């Protein structure tokens, strides 16, 4: 074999070796402004803000699903905006300084953590270390998503034991979780049979359910109350349709719709990148200057338990 042939062979071998190494599955190290899953949340036009009228309980009553009792909020004549609960979805992908940046937010900010991901355990650990509430961000079947909900996810047609086993596996990964909400899930949360199994098992495991309201046809929140379980639902998405200053300003304005409501305003955003973290910081700074208080899930549920005992 001539020198030229040897050189060519060596070059080809090096290229093949590089390609094989590049294809190996390595632990991702998402950080800072890197996009994680830009399409990993799901919403419909009727779910961008709460699909049930917040300012008119009578209207909310008319929009109730025919087979479920509608559970409306409690209203007073106060001009005060109620406390805000902020839930940040999709932890499990983010690591490094991006994860640390969210960990540096006020303690009341909730981490919603996806199972089966490289930073699932780390996110749960940091939530515990910073004294904040962690919840399980349960992957669920979706009708409109452009990406899969996850390696494992709850879907219609699964038998009861499969659903329970999957939930138990998720709980094991995030043992400090006090509640769960749905990741995607427009199809799953609209299915009463599936959600009955989910809600009953979460309750058996001592977890509350938070309805992310990714579709106006969700039965999660109402069904939880029908079954006698405490539940809350998402009222606003902070980063939908985007996280621009204009959207943040609109969400600040949206808070005015909740004046006089006794229950907290539940706001969901995502941890996909640095720009979303920066937008959340802006939002928190502005509501603090307005005198609007942050509260935690555990504090709110604790107050409900205290009220029930009196």
Q: Is the predicted pLDDT of residue 229 greater than 80, yes or no?
A: yes
Q: Which residue has the higher pLDDT, 125 or 148?
A: 125
Average pLDDT over residues 268-287: 98
Distances (CA, A) of 223 to 96, 218, 269: 39, 9, 24
Average pLDDT over residues 160-172: 98
Average pLDDT over residues 202-214: 97
Round to whole Å and give the CA distance between 242 and 237: 10
pLDDT at 307: 64
pLDDT at 29: 29
pTM for the model? 0.81
Instruction: Order across the sheet with 134-140: list the strands.
Output: 231-233, 208-211, 177-184, 134-140, 110-113, 84-91, 265-270, 236-237
Structure confidence at residue 306 as a pLDDT band (50, 70, 90)? low
The fold for domain 51-308 equals: TIM Barrel (3.20.20)
Q: Is the predicted pLDDT of residue 127 greater than 70, yes or no?
A: yes
Q: Which residue has the higher pLDDT, 4 or 39?
A: 4
Q: Tokens for 259, please give them.
A: 């004046």
Q: Is the predicted pLDDT of residue 54 greater than 60, yes or no?
A: no
Q: Tokens for 14, please give them.
A: 């090096």
Q: Is 270 exposed, middle or buried (0-12, 13-18, 19+ CB in 10 A)?
A: buried
Q: Is the predicted pLDDT of residue 153 greater than 60, yes or no?
A: yes
Average pLDDT over residues 169-195: 98
Q: Is the predicted pLDDT of residue 132 greater than 70, yes or no?
A: yes
Q: Is the predicted pLDDT of residue 194 greater than 50, yes or no?
A: yes
Helix (H) / strand (E) element for 139: namely strand 134-140
Which one-letter DSSP state was computed for residue 31? -
Q: Is the predicted pLDDT of residue 5 greater than 70, yes or no?
A: no
Q: Tokens for 151, please give them.
A: 């390696």
- Which candidate, 185, 210, 310, places its Cα nearest to that of 263? 210
DSSP-derived pairing of the beta strands 231-233 and 177-184: unpaired
Q: Is the predicted pLDDT of residue 38 greater than 70, yes or no?
A: no
First vs last C-alpha separation in the chain = 91
Question: Could you read off the pLDDT of 79-122 as tens digits, one per residue?
Answer: 999 999 999 999 999 999 999 999 999 999 999 999 999 999 99
Helix (H) / strand (E) element for 201: namely helix 192-204
| Of 4-8, 207-211, 220-224, minimum mean pLDDT range | 4-8
Q: Tokens for 178, please give them.
A: 């006090």
pLDDT at 144: 75
Domain ranges (residues) in the chain: 51-308
pLDDT at 147: 84
Q: Give the count of beta carbons closer than 10 Å to the beta carbon of residue 282.
A: 15
Q: Is the predicted pLDDT of residue 310 greater than 80, yes or no?
A: no
What's phi and psi for 233, nearest 5 deg? -135, 155
Round to whole Å and give the CA distance between 75 and 142: 33
pLDDT at 49: 41
């Amino acid at each position: 074999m001539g020198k030229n042939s040897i050189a060519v062979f060596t070059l080809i071998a090096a290229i093949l070796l590089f390609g094989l190494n590049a294809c190996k599955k390595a632990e991702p190290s998402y950080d800072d402004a890197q996009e994680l899953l830009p399409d990993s949340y799901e919403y419909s036009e009727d779910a961008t803000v709460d699909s049930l009228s917040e300012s008119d309980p009578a209207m909310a009553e008319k929009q109730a699903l025919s087979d479920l009792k509608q559970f409306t909020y409690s209203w007073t004549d106060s001009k005060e905006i109620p406390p805000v609960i902020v839930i940040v979805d999709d932890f499990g992908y983010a690591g490094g300084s991006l994860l640390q940046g969210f960990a540096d937010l006020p303690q009341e900010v909730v981490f919603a953590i996806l199972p089966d991901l490289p930073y699932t355990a780390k996110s749960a650990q940091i939530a515990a270390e910073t004294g904040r509430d962690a919840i399980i961000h349960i992957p669920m079947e979706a009708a409109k998503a452009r990406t899969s909900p996850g390696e494992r996810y709850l879907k219609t047609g699964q038998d009861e034991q499969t659903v329970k086993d999957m939930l138990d596996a998720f709980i094991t990964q995030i043992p400090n979780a006090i509640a769960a909400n749905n990741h995607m899930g427009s199809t799953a949360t609209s299915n009463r049979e599936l959600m009955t199994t989910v809600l009953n098992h979460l309750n058996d495991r001592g977890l509350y359910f938070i309805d992310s309201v990714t579709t106006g046809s969700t039965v999660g929140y109402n069904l939880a109350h029908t079954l006698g379980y405490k539940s809350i639902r998402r009222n606003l998405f902070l980063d939908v349709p985007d996280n621009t200053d204009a959207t943040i300003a609109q969400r600040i304005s949206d808070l005015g719709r909740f004046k006089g409501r006794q229950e907290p305003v539940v706001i969901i955003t995502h941890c996909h990148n640095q720009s979303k973290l920066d937008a959340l910081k802006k939002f928190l700074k502005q509501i603090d200057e307005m005198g609007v208080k942050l509260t935690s899930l555990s504090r709110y549920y604790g107050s409900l338990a205290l009220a029930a005992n009196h």
